[in-house]
């Protein structure tokens, strides 16, 4: 059984249909790069999967359980965690307070304060620092660590390198190596196509809310992805 099944999912912003009839399945330990231009529907899709945006039509199933109509907090308890675009930490709280809030709302499992600190060592000296005073890269590390403390089955990462310096991006991706080694199931939204393809097993490209290309990352040429990305291909390829 697939870990996550998305069936003909659609979501709207008012009258605008931001996600159109999207279907895919995700196996345990699989990493999918979700790519597309700004406004393609990537963030709305992740938020719909996490329960942070209403679904207009379609179904979402986690390990065979229909979660389509469940609120975000119940999806967290079932194992879906979102690292949102812009991090959205509690800025006045310390790093430790942000992490403890997530721990109290999550599930039991291998991810604890000690294990996330081991995999994100840059946070050790920042335990008592207020989240709002951290650099972008440090905040991103806190946001990922916070999500992991819910012990998710599915981790949704939205624009993990957006606005970060190249050095900060290197540090974040180094931290992601621990998740990959632990066979964490991940959907990664990333504007840096090279970075995304370097860690992904599969790529899904959205354009105007619809899937226009899907395939194994290692077998899908970059120029074909870019053609689908910008809509310059003669015939879209959905495999």
- The strand pair at 237-238 and 210-216 is best described as parallel
* pLDDT value for 18: 96
For residue range 8-41, list pLDDT tens digits in order.
999 999 889 999 999 999 999 999 999 999 899 9
What value does the mean pLDDT of the chain take? 89
Q: Is the pLDDT of residue 55 over 90?
A: yes
For residue range 128-146, list pLDDT tens digits in order.
999 999 988 888 889 988 9
Q: Is the pLDDT of residue 107 over 70?
A: yes
Could you tell me the CATH superfamily of domain 4-238?
A: P-loop containing nucleotide triphosphate hydrolases (3.40.50.300)
Spatial separation of the C-alpha atoms in residues 162 and 171, rounded to whole Å: 13
Spatial separation of the C-alpha atoms in residues 25 and 204, rounded to whole Å: 11
SS (H, E, C) the chain: CCCEEEEEEEEEECCEEEEEEEEEEECCCCEEEEECCCCCCHHHHHHHHHCCCCCCEEEEEECCEECCCCCHHHHHHHCEEEECCCCCCCCCCEHHHHHHHHHHHCCCCCCCHHHHHHHCHHHHHHCCCEHHHCCHHHHHHHHHHHHHCCCCCEEEEECCCCCCCHHHHHHHHHHHHHHHHCCCEEEEECCCHHHHHHHCCEEEEEECCEEEEEEEHHHCCHHHHHHHHHCCCCCCEEC
For residue range 166-223, list pLDDT tens digits in order.
877 787 777 777 777 777 899 999 888 888 888 899 999 999 999 999 999 999 998 9
Beta bridge partners of 188: 33, 157
Q: What does the domain layout of the chain look like in residue ranges?
A: 4-238
Question: Encoding tokens for residue 228?
Answer: 């689908």
């Amino acid at each position: 059984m697939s870990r996550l099944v998305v069936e003909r999912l659609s979501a709207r912003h008012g009258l605008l249909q931001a996600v159109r009839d999207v279907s895919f399945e995700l196996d345990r330990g699989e990493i999918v790069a979700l790519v597309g231009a700004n406004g393609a529907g990537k963030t709305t899709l992740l938020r719909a999967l996490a329960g942070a945006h209403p679904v207009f039509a379609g179904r979402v199933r986690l390990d065979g359980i229909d979660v389509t109509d469940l609120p975000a907090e119940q999806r967290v308890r079932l194992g879906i965690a979102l690292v949102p675009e812009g991090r959205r930490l509690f800025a006045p709280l310390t790093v430790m307070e942000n992490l403890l809030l997530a721990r109290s709302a999550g599930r039991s499992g291998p991810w604890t304060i000690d294990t996330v600190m081991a995999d994100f060592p840059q946070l050790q000296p920042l335990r008592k620092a207020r989240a709002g005073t951290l650099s972008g890269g440090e905040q991103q590390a806190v946001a990922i660590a916070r999500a992991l403390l819910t012990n998710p089955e599915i981790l949704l990462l939205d624009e993990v390198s957006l606005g970060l310096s190249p050095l900060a991006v290197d540090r974040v991706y180094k931290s992601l190596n621990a998740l990959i080694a632990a066979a964490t199931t991940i959907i990664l939204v990333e504007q840096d196509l090279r970075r995304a393809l370097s860690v992904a097993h599969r790529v899904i490209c959205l354009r105007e809310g619809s899937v226009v290309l899907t395939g194994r990352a290692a077998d899908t040429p970059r120029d074909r992805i870019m053609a689908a990305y910008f809509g310059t291909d003669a015939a879209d390829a959905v495999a």
